[in-house]
Every structure is written in structure tokens, then in C-alpha cells.
């Protein structure tokens, strides 16, 4: 039972820190240049699930950027970048 509580505590800390890390990297990561670079990579992808996910994430990143939500923009842009590398 003690081990289970330890694992739960570690998971809680990880979930609390992840959004803070995304916001920290968003200031440098969420830019028009990075959005354009990622969009180009998405256009060059083969059609499929990964491309669909990447397109969804880049659209969400653009929306977040326009609304001034830099942390959310950085998180979506990061997900889109990872989707372009997936397949």
C-alpha cells in the first residue's frame, strides 16, 4: 500500500509540473517561424492518422497563439512536431 501511495504521489507531481514546463518553453517555442516550419513538415507527410493528428494540433496551436495563450500554443505545437516525427 505504501508503494502505491508513493507512485500516486510521483504521478501527481509529474502532472503538476508538465503544464509548467510547457508554458516555460512556449515563450521561445510558439512563434510564427516554428508554426510555419511545422506546417511545412505536416504538408510533406504521407496521408494517415499521424498527419490528421498533426493538422489538428497545429490548428489548435494557431488558435491559442491568436488568443494569447502561449502555454497552450507551445503544448499544441510540441504535439504537432512529435506527430510529424512519428511516421
Question: Would you state the pLDDT for residue 86?
Answer: 67
In contact, 78 and 22? CB cutoff 8 Å: yes
Stretches where the chain sits below pLDDT 70 are: 1-28, 86-87
Question: Would you state the pLDDT for residue 13?
Answer: 54
Question: Would you state the pLDDT for residue 21?
Answer: 47
Question: Would you state the pLDDT for residue 30?
Answer: 81
Question: Would you state the pLDDT for residue 1?
Answer: 62
Question: Would you state the pLDDT for residue 11?
Answer: 59
Q: Is the pTM of this model over 0.75?
A: no
Domain ranges of the chain: 32-85
In contact, 48 and 87? CB cutoff 8 Å: yes
**CA dihedral for 7, 9, 15, 19, sign (positive or negative):** negative
Amino acid at each position: 500500500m505504501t508503494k502505491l501511495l508513493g507512485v500516486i504521489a510521483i504521478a501527481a507531481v509529474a502532472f503538476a509540473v508538465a503544464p509548467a514546463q510547457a508554458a516555460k518553453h512556449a515563450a521561445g517555442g510558439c512563434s510564427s517561424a516554428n508554426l510555419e516550419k511545422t506546417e511545412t513538415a505536416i504538408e510533406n507527410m504521407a496521408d494517415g492518422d499521424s498527419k490528421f493528428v498533426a493538422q489538428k494540433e497545429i490548428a489548435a496551436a494557431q488558435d491559442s497563439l491568436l488568443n494569447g495563450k502561449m502555454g497552450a500554443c507551445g503544448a499544441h505545437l510540441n504535439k504537432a512536431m512529435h506527430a510529424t516525427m512519428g511516421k
